[in-house]
Structure 1
Amino acid sequence: TALALAAGFRAIDTANQRKHYFEAGVGAALARSGIPREQVFLQTKFTHQPGQDQRLPYDPRAPITTQVQQSFDSSLEHLGTSYLDSLVLHGPSVNHGLAPGDVEAWRAMETLHDRGLVRAIGISNVSTDQLEQLIGIARVPPAFVQNRCYASTGWDGHTRAVCRERGIGYQGFSLLTANRRELQRPLVDEIMKRSGMTREQVVFRFAIQIGMIPLTGTSSDQHMREDLGVLERALTTTDVQAIERIAAG
């Protein structure tokens, strides 16, 4: 996190899920950076118990509403902040549809939003059908969707279409690791030569140009600076369309 902030990043995605994330480390880096809180977009997640290890940020016997509040309170403590820019439900607890616990978690997140403690709420690891179901029951609609993005599904094309229609920001993750085979194709090499971009830059610039917010998890200072460099670059419409269809080629 410290490297990312020094490189110029001003948006951080984490989760209160010690199994894969370390919120307290993010908070410590933010405190050391001296960057004013209002200049950093902070997003974290509430994770249902099956996605956690034994280091739970809540009482597993408590109602889901209480679990969300306990997880949120500890996130604020870890991150050293009094509010969050975005709180994301880390994923529905079932593969199809929404379970009662998912709806309860969303209602608890809506309450945090009502209280001004969270500026936006969203959902991750969600199918198109689940997203449409959530939109149907939500009092506060999702501001963000965060999904693993595969070229083989048209870069999650159906879900992105719903997001576009509803004004929901789409955050794509694993753009590189989920698409290693497709990104080694000669087409990408040709675009790299024409554009003067690295493979990673081509992918992130493509994501931006199709309306996606690309997430990067690199720990390399050089890659961080290269990733930010895509904001000043552009791909041709032809190249964007070719990458959109790359899995079919």
Structure 2
Amino acid sequence: MTTKVPKVKFYNGQEIPVFGLGTWKSKPGEVTQAVKDAIDIGYRHIDCAHIYGNEKEVGAAIREKIAQGVVKREDLFITSKLWNTFHRQDLVEPALRTTLADLGVENVDLYLIHWPFGYKEGGELAPTNPDGSLQFSDVDYLETWKAMESVNKKGLTKSIGVSNFNSEQLERLLKNAEIKPVVNQIECHPYLNQLKLAEFCKSKNILVTGYSPLGSPDRPWAKPGDPQLLDDAKLKELAKKYNKTPAQLVIRYQLDRGNIVIPKSVTKSRIAENFEVFDFKLAPEDIEYLNTFDCNGRICALENSRSHQYWPFNIPF
């Protein structure tokens, strides 16, 4: 009997499993097996994005597990994200339709604006100037959101949300939106605990999904000597108290704070290990203790987009 992952409700009544599989940096060729393993283990929430370049492979795994009768489509919660080069209103629906075709599904459960800023439309996914700097688009995310509302009304996605938006951007969106975002997906782990932004989202009835909960040890731009969250001696010490691994502890840290969490792995043993987090809870004082680890240790800042007017990390939260 596989463990059933608890679900939480969005304000619109749709339900999302609080725990899922992240697929960022999962290479084509590895990700199909990873998703199949995850579904066999009991995962029912898969987090995808066009920019990850592996949605076809994710789709192959989903189709296989449905064909085998392991799951039905309605058992799965599938998230995808609109990439920065498709922020123009006329590009949003075609971008989502590409994702649906790649995943082999009729709709996704959740579609997010991946970042609040756009890149130049119509070419590369990371269009650059001759000097190597990124070519930006000046499309306002409020315009993008109108098209997100449209694909939601058409039923191409059951819910819509955002990712990497700060509190001011969310506030501005809420003032102008007809349909409110259900979620803000943000980087979240003990080195970047996001307490203020999470509190803000909660006050607006927007759920938080924490990505890179393990501190993204395999991030491509990691430098030797960068602090690695899972190697933190204080974290290892606390994990011993619960007889759990540091990874299990930081995943539980998100759940006990009321966040949805999507750890990524392509290793079957780790995919299974990450799932073993529903048989314990952290004591409130240990959550408080983990909160003290915060060092503004942001890993995923997209520094090369810092000069964009909508780059979200110029304010505290």
With the length of structure 2 as denominator, give the TM-score of the two structures.
0.68
Q: Partner residue of 1:140?
A: 179
The answer to whether the 8 A contact 1:150-1:178 is kept is no
Is 1:45–2:81 an aligned residue pair? yes
Is 1:111–2:121 an aligned residue pair? no
Q: Cα offset for 1:189? A: 2.2
Paired with 1:42 and 1:197, the residues of 2 have a C-alpha distance of: 28
Q: What does the per-residue CA deviation read over 1:34-64, in whole Å, with 9 as the maximum and x for residues that have no partner? A: 2210000011011122xxxxxxxx7xxxx81
Which segment is superposed worse, 66-75 or 194-203?
66-75
Q: Partner residue of 2:250?
A: 203
Give the letter aligned to residue 8 of structure 1.
G
Q: Partner residue of 1:23?
A: 55
Q: What does the per-residue CA deviation read over 1:103-160, in whole Å, with 9 as the maximum and x for residues that have no partner? A: 121101101112222111111122222122212211111101111125444x112210
Runs of 4 or more off by more than 4 Å in structure 1? 178-183
- 1:242 is aligned, of 273, 284, 289, to 289
Q: Partner residue of 1:93?
A: 117
Paired with 2:271 and 2:216, the residues of 1 have a C-alpha distance of: 19
Give the letter aligned to residue 58 of structure 2.
V
Is 1:3–2:37 an aligned residue pair? yes
Is 1:158–2:205 an aligned residue pair? no
Which segment is superposed worse, 37-46 or 111-120?
111-120
Paired with 1:234 and 1:152, the residues of 2 have a C-alpha distance of: 20
Q: Cα offset for 1:9? A: 0.8
Structure with bigger RCO (C-alpha 8 Å, 6+ apart): 2
Q: Partner residue of 1:231?
A: 278
Provide structure 1 residue ranges, at least 5 long, that are not aligned to the other structure.
Answer: 50-57
Q: State the identity %.
A: 26
Q: Cα offset for 1:100? A: 4.1
Give the letter aligned to residue 44 of structure 1.
S
Provide structure 2 residue ranges, at least 5 long, that are not aligned to the other structure.
Answer: 1-34, 119-137, 218-226, 296-317
Paired with 1:219 and 1:5, the residues of 2 have a C-alpha distance of: 13
Which segment is superposed worse, 177-186 or 112-121?
177-186
Q: Give the SS at the match of 1:172.
A: strand
Q: Give the SS at the match of 1:187.
A: helix
Give the letter aligned to residue 73 of structure 1.
R
Paired with 2:41 and 2:53, the residues of 1 have a C-alpha distance of: 21
Q: What does the per-residue CA deviation read over 1:138-190, in whole Å, with 9 as the maximum and x for residues that have no partner? A: 1111101111125444x112210111112212111112225844554433122
Give the letter aligned to residue 2 of structure 1.
K
Q: How does 1:56-75 map to 2 (within 5 A)?
A: 64-75=88-99
Q: Give the SS at the match of 1:32.
A: helix
Paired with 1:162 and 1:66, the residues of 2 have a C-alpha distance of: 31
The answer to whether the 8 A contact 1:149-1:178 is kept is no
Q: Cα offset for 1:192? A: 1.1
With the length of structure 1 as denominator, give the TM-score of the two structures.
0.85
